Amino acid sequence: MNTFYNFFISTQPFRFIGKSIRNIFFPTIHDGIPDEIHIEVCSICNAKCLFCNYRYEHRTKKLMDVETFRKNAKDCFELGYKRLNFTSMGGELFIHPQAIEIIKIANAVGFEYIDVYTNGILLNKFDMNDLLTSGLTSLKISFPGFDQNEYKLVYGVDKYDDFISSLLQLLETNYLSKNPINIILEPRSRISLDEIYQNNTYITLISKYVPKYVTINKPILRYDSWGGEIKQSDLPKGLKLEINPIKSIYPLKKVNLCSRLVDFAILANGDVRLCNCRYDSTIETEEDGLFIENLSNYDSIESLLLSNSQKIEKIKTDFIHGKLPKLCHGCTFYTPCKL
């Protein structure tokens, strides 16, 4: 049964049909309670992944300073958010020289769950014990398998040795820790899970930590096009662009709200926006249809949200009536919900 399900959700056209049926008829029910807040503290990345639009990006490269983050974290926690995600759609947390201090601040503020995706290249620049006791509850590491050539091809940089060095230090320190954290390795590669398990680096250096201390997810083979910015020709053979599922039945054009519009995100430059999943990387974000306002004009996030409540409501109402921001038209990360 599990094999059949995996085949169904990973094979076209079944994947397209299944997601389209879900989108139209089976939205999840959202209780409206604040869930997960995304705060980007770094909009700079040290990789040029083929499946990411970062290499085309026009956004200003920015680090959020520590005190600004402290205030933003407190404001979000007071609004009811208990989960904090540092994952940026165009940046790498550990480029920030004060990344661990920032995680500790989030923990001290009271967030119950602190999560981040990282490429792991720079982890060995930090004290591993300090990182693992910072309050981070989940560390997700994306990588294209244990192969130097594949790494350079898919991630666009010759940093495989740095990645392996960081990973081994992390896993060993976590193994020896009294309170190990949840480490998830997520392959973004056409290399199969069986090939990863058969790789000599995995067998000799990684396998002893799996599955008790490390989880390895199934490789991701399908990717969003970022509104057409990523082309199939950008991807190596074996990786494919996701087909955009149907969101509504024509001519009704009623669309379930995307769950990613229920909460908001804060970018490194202070932009507050609905959805941390997509932005138009060819322009500054205030023009992309999901931008709310910049925090520089307000004394708190709450005051910004209150002052722009009608704007926020209009974006959501327009969405439900089929008037999606251009940015959302081709987004395959759409997840339908009803409040």
Instruction: Give residue 135's pLDDT.
Output: 95
Q: Sheet holding 113-118: strands in order across? A: 214-216, 182-187, 138-143, 113-118, 83-85, 36-39, 264-266, 271-274, 291-294
Evaluated on CA atoms 106, 107, 112, 113, the torsion sign reads positive
Cα distances (Å, whole numbers) of residue 206 to 99, 131, 283: 26, 20, 41
Residue 1: partners with Cβ closer than 8 Å, 6 or more residues away? none
Instruction: Give residue 169's pLDDT.
Output: 96
Q: pLDDT per position in the chain (339 positions), as tens?
A: 555 556 556 677 888 888 888 998 899 988 888 889 999 999 999 999 999 888 877 778 899 999 999 999 999 999 999 999 999 888 999 999 999 999 999 999 999 999 999 999 999 999 999 999 999 999 999 999 999 999 999 999 999 999 999 999 999 999 999 888 989 999 998 888 999 999 999 999 999 999 888 999 999 989 988 878 888 999 998 899 998 888 888 666 789 999 999 999 999 999 999 988 877 776 666 677 899 999 998 999 999 999 999 999 999 999 999 999 888 888 888 999 988
Instruction: Give residue 35's pLDDT.
Output: 87
pTM, 2 dp: 0.92
Residue 184 contacts residue 142 (beta carbons within 8 Å):
no
Instruction: Give residue 299's pLDDT.
Output: 93
Tokens 């050539």 found at: 149
Instruction: Give residue 303's pLDDT.
Output: 96
Q: How many CA atoms lie within 13 A of 125 on its CB side?
A: 13
